[in-house]
């Protein structure tokens, strides 16, 4: 049965990697999968093609929605899928309109984040939602947010959490700490994410200063893409002698697994989320996590079992959790082991893929083998 996955871009991000895992993991005896990317020839497109998945990159700007809908409709007419599954806001909207022009009967959206910043996204999504069967939410938090603030009907929302493959994390080897300018005796907390307002960076840096002043062998390693807060972040770091010594900015790296293996824990101080893949990845690597009480994160972390949940926008609470992790290394390791078990029991990639396959089969009235 032909299905088409439509996404806004294929850069190396959480939603993009989730699509790749889904496309490659589906049973090819049941599904013939194609992918349409509204963006250009981005890194993950070639990954899919190498595994035999047809990928079409439309190279349209987010500022040209009419062109995106037109090109998408043309591609869908050519591919003739029985069902379209979209990922991310721009693909959700273009997918609904493009599928209608192409006479594709079944369309499902994908809600990957609780959008606290751009209210117009919620309005446009609500206005076009009835052009689809409904949407897949990555967490119960996103579902609740979409009902309460997005005005969407509970009956049109299905929750399918993200999943992670633990095997690559078992195979990963820790990076040499000396390459980071650190010693084996140093305690390392890792942040991995965009330098964006969503990630709560001011509170993280304030907390880092508090912790570093009390624990001289503690270091914060940060890695990820530049974003809206990049200029502020680098100015803030340079203005603080403590952060210059204890904060290590690595920029974008492809060896996340190896750096996770070398770290004591992950910290994610987000102001809002959906279901952060980086938390799942840390748990798969057997690392404890300090996260904020926001969508998805608070479903993954069990407080005082697999990590710490603290209020968002609270530097002191972040610092307190970090200091407890430093003072109680055995507890931190225990949390990491429990987190790995939680992933194995509840958040496997196979479970996520099976949930999508079952949903699509129900829509198309198919019997799964």
Phi, psi for residue 210 in degrees, rounded to 5:
-65, -45
Domain membership of residue 147 (yes or no) is: yes
Report the alpha-carbon distance of residue 293 to residue 101 in Å, rounded: 41
Whether 105 and 209 map to the same domain: the answer is no
- DSSP code per residue over 71-126: HHHHHHHHH--SEEEEESHHHHHHHHHHHHHTT--EEEEEE-S---S-HHHHHHHH
Domain membership of residue 327 (yes or no) is: yes
Whether 286 and 354 map to the same domain: the answer is no
Whether 133 and 230 map to the same domain: the answer is no
Q: What's 92's domain CATH number?
A: 3.40.50.2000
Whether 132 and 233 map to the same domain: the answer is no
Structural domains counted in the chain: 2
Whether 9 and 151 map to the same domain: the answer is yes
Domain membership of residue 86 (yes or no) is: yes
Whether 180 and 328 map to the same domain: the answer is yes
Whether 264 and 283 map to the same domain: the answer is yes
Whether 146 and 26 map to the same domain: the answer is yes
Whether 302 and 219 map to the same domain: the answer is yes
Domain membership of residue 369 (yes or no) is: no
Whether 127 and 218 map to the same domain: the answer is no
Name the one residue in this structure whose structure tokens are 């599928």: 99
H or E element that contains 359: helix 349-364
Whether 155 and 189 map to the same domain: the answer is no
Q: What is the pTM of this model?
A: 0.94
Query: How confident is the model over 29-47, as pLDDT tens digits?
Result: 999 999 999 999 999 999 9
pLDDT in the model for residue 179? 87
Whether 9 and 152 map to the same domain: the answer is yes
Report the alpha-carbon distance of residue 267 to residue 189 in Å, rounded: 7
| Regions of the chain where pLDDT drops below 50 | none
Q: What residues form DSSP beta bridges with 107? A: 84
pLDDT in the model for residue 12? 82
Nearest of 156, 4, 24 to residue 73 by alpha carbon: 4
Q: Are 347 and 164 in contact (CB under 8 A)?
A: yes
- Supply the range of the domain harboring residue 141: 2-163+348-364
* CA distances, 150 to each of 144, 145, 293, 339, 360 (Å): 9, 7, 20, 32, 24
pLDDT in the model for residue 62? 86
Q: CB-based burial of residue 23 (10 Å sphere; 0-12 exposed, 13-18 middle, 19+ buried)?
A: buried
- Coil/strand/helix, residue 130: helix
């Amino acid at each position: 049965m032909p299905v088409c996955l439509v996404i806004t871009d294929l850069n190396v991000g959480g939603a993009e990697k989730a699509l790749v895992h889904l496309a490659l993991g589906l049973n090819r005896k049941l599904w013939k999968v194609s992918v349409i990317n509204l963006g250009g020839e981005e890194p993950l497109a070639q990954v899919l093609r190498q595994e035999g998945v047809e990928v079409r990159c439309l190279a349209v700007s987010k500022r040209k929605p009419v062109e995106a809908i037109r090109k998408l409709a043309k591609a869908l007419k050519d591919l003739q899928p029985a069902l379209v599954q979209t990922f991310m806001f721009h693909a959700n909207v273009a997918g609904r309109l493009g599928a209608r022009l192409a006479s594709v009967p079944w369309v499902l959206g994908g809600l990957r984040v609780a959008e606290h910043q751009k209210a117009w996204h919620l309005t446009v999504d609500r206005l076009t939602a009835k052009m689809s069967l409904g949407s897949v939410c990555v967490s119960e938090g996103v579902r609740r947010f979409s009902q309460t603030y997005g005005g969407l009907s509970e009956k049109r929302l299905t929750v399918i959490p993200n999943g992670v493959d633990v095997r690559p994390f078992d195979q990963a080897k820790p990076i040499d700490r000396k390459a980071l300018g650190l010693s084996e005796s140093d305690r390392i907390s890792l942040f991995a994410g965009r330098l964006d307002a969503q990630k709560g960076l001011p509170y993280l840096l304030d907390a880092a200063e508090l912790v570093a002043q009390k624990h001289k062998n503690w270091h914060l390693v940060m890695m990820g893409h530049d974003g809206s807060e990049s200029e502020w972040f680098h100015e803030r770091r340079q203005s603080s002698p403590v952060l210059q010594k204890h904060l290590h900015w690595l920029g974008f790296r492809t060896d996340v697994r190896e750096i996770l293996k070398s770290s004591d824990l992950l910290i994610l101080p987000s102001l809002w989320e959906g279901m952060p893949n980086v938390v799942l990845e840390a748990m798969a690597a057997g690392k404890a996590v300090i996260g904020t009480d926001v969508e998805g994160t608070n479903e993954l972390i069990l407080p005082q079992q697999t990590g710490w949940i603290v209020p968002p926008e609270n530097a002191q609470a972040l610092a307190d959790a970090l200091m407890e992790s430093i003072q109680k290394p055995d507890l931190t390791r225990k949390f990491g082991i429990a987190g790995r078990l939680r992933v194995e029991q509840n958040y496997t990639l196979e479970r996520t893929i099976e949930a999508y396959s079952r949903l699509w089969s129900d829509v198309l009235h198919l019997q799964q083998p």
